[in-house]
Amino acid sequence: MLTRDEAEKLIQEVLAAYPPEAAEDRAKHLAVLDGETLEGGCGITANRKSLPGVMTIRGCAYAGSKGVVWGPIKDMIHISHGPVGCGQYSRAGRRNYYVGTTGINAFGTMNFTSDFQEKDIVFGGDKKLAKLLEEANALFPLNKGISVQSECPVGLIGDDIEAVAKKKSADLNKPIVPVRCEGFRGVSQSLGHHIANDTIRDYILDRPKADDGIQAGPYDVAIIGDYNIGGDAWSSRILLEEMGLQVVAQWSGDGTLAELERTPKVRLNLVHCYRSMNYISRHMETKYGIPWLEYNFFGPSRIADSLRRIAARFDDRIKAGAEAVIAKYQPMADAITNRFRPRLEGKRVMLYVGGLRPRHVIGAYEDLGMEVVGTGYEFGHNDDYDRTQVDLKNTTLIYDDASGYELERFVERVRPDLIGSGIKEKYVFQKMGIPFRQMHSWDYSGPYHGYDGYAIFARDMDMTINNPCWKMMTPPWRQPNAA
Amino acid sequence: MLRHNERGELLCYVPKKDLEAVVRTVEFDQDDRWGGTLSLANGEKLYLEPLTQRPLIPVTFRVRKL
């Protein structure tokens, strides 16, 4: 167990390696929390530009817009406008599952790109974009719309993608959304989420359309900020539907354009990923008067708590439905806990993920008797750190935008039993002999949301921590009986 | 942006600073005059030109930092 003094000493040790100016800057991003609640975000400065020269793990605005918010909308074509690499190397990597026939009425795992060449940089790429939009629409006529996701060069050479989109949108009679998410904008993918949210607001929600005559049902809700990674949104959705709510839209995992357009008529927006979709939730609250509620579907105690909080916004029928759902699944969850808890009790976890999971998965680990000794966001903002404090009970290291070096030093000293982070960290820590799970993509497993997800989560954690391979890490020449 | 949180308290959100804080006091809190100095839970103070009527919350304003 880490004590406060040890943790603070550890931070000082890590900072000592930096030049004074850099150390001063990084000191603002590292903190120790002791279970107390501070006003204004753990005393951490967040959402600042990464230090030049340190190895940051952050992504870019394009990643936030194309990869996170727009990408999973399955019946739209998302064009990576610029050189081929950005789209190709991120293609389908996030495992946003969807139903549909790829290439016919769904395009989630496909890569559309304008493949910029030297001449496009020199003479501009607008003509190419116009041609591409027509071509894509002709080849895939069942697409419901097209979004143009800018990569860095488009912003640098000053192409007017808005004009092209406007013209082609009229020609093709489909929404064409120009998204100015050039990678150099902002300090991390977080600005990409914001830009994407704003374009949904401007080009989808505000788009003049004929009144579809749909009347909002009394129990209509939308799932906001669930990207259906490994099927997460599906395992969440069944719980909401079982308690009597009608889920009319999924933003944006397995989502469609029609669902987005339908959302301003729901009764309540249920926000899972606050970081990436609070902007649009706030907009819908102001413009359409739709309240929003953050919830957490990781681990049975948080699920039960969330279901009750959601039900409290509706009538007695839904409240009874929530209790029935909890009563139905609790025995299953208890059986899982009873099976895995003895194998995982007391294990210590360090997390370093994106903008939501550093706090949301803590409850699930606690249900399994594990404790979180360190957590941090790649691109969280101050309001995220505010929300994190309530989830932390014991002394915890907090690191914002940690560099490769910082993480390695922390892990070396803390020696947790499990690390949850991304692919870039995975092999470093496995080579250090520490069990590791990717918490961005669930390590190609999942879903982890909902009661069904908890079963998989518990199994995966057990499988990783209690894997016999970790006992075989001593090289032959260090073994006492080596011949 | 002003909105009510789950406990019914007035919550202020400043997008530029990603600051989300409960509004402790509002200087003028009458039906025909609303606004003035807003004191936030984190100690900061914001000034909103007093309105002639109580606003319908949620609502977004441009405010000055004091």
| Domain range enclosing B27 | 2-65
Tell me the mean pLDDT in the region A131-154: 96
Domain count, chain B: 1
When computed from its CA atoms, the radius of gyration of chain A, rounded to whole angstroms, is: 23
Q: How far away is chain B from the Cα of A122, in angstroms, using its nearest Cα?
A: 36
Whether A282 sits inside 8 A of B18 (CB atoms) is no
pLDDT tens per residue, range A303-341:
999 999 999 999 999 999 999 999 999 999 999 999 999
Q: pLDDT class for A1, splitting at 50, 70, 90?
A: low
| Statement: residue A482 has pLDDT above 60 | no
Best residue in B1, B3, B12, B18 for a mutation probing chain A (most A CBs within 10 Å): B18
CATH number at residue B7: 2.40.50
pLDDT value of residue A475: 79
Asked whether A355 and A327 are in contact (CB, 8 A), the reply is no
pLDDT value of residue A153: 96
pLDDT tens per residue, range A157-209:
999 999 999 999 999 999 999 999 999 999 999 999 999 999 999 999 988 87
Q: Does B1 touch chain A (CB under 8 A)?
A: yes
Q: At what angle do helices A274-288 and A382-389 cross, to 10 degrees?
A: 100
- DSSP 3-state of A380: coil
Q: Does B24 touch chain A (CB under 8 A)?
A: no
Q: Does B42 touch chain A (CB under 8 A)?
A: yes
pLDDT tens per residue, range A382-414:
889 888 888 888 888 999 999 999 999 999 999
3-state secondary structure A319-370: HHHHHHHHHHHHHHHHHHHHHHHHHHCCCEEEECECCCHHHHCHHHHHHCCC
Residues of chain A with C-beta less than 8 angstroms from the C-beta of B6 = 293, 309
Residues of chain B with C-beta less than 8 angstroms from the C-beta of A286 = 1, 58-60
Which chain B residue lies closest to A312 (C-alpha atoms)? B6
- DSSP 3-state of A177: strand
pLDDT value of residue A373: 93
pTM for the structure as a whole: 0.93
Q: pLDDT class for B29, splitting at 50, 70, 90?
A: confident
pLDDT tens per residue, range A248-266:
999 999 999 999 999 999 9
Q: Does B59 touch chain A (CB under 8 A)?
A: yes
Which contacts qualify for A291-296: CB closer than 8 Å, 24 or more apart?
Answer: A292/A224, A292/A268, A293/A268, A293/A269, A293/B6, A294/A387, A295/A270, A295/A271, A296/A272, A296/A360, A296/A363
Whether B18 sits inside 8 A of A382 (CB atoms) is yes
Catalytic one among A26, A58, A81, A94?
A94
Q: Would you say how long chain B is, in residues?
A: 66
Tell me the mean pLDDT in the region A92-110: 94
Whole-number Å distance between alpha carbons of A446 and A298: 12
Which chain A residue lies closest to B22 (C-alpha atoms)? A39
Whole-number Å distance between alpha carbons of A411 and A380: 21
Whole-number Å distance between alpha carbons of A69 and A71: 6
Q: Does B12 touch chain A (CB under 8 A)?
A: no
Q: pLDDT class for A38, splitting at 50, 70, 90?
A: low
pLDDT value of residue B5: 82
pLDDT value of residue A398: 93
Q: pLDDT class for A37, splitting at 50, 70, 90?
A: low
Catalytic residue check, A193: yes
CB contact residues (below 8 A), chain A span 309-338, against chain B = 309
| Statement: residue A107 has pLDDT above 90 | yes
Mean pLDDT (chain A) is 93
Q: Is A422 left (phi over 0), alpha (psi -120 to 50) or beta?
A: beta
Tell me the mean pLDDT in the region A340-345: 96
| E strand residue ranges, chain B | 2-4, 10-14, 19-29, 34-40, 45-51, 64-65
- What is the percent of chain A with per-residue pLDDT over 90, rounded to a whole number? 84
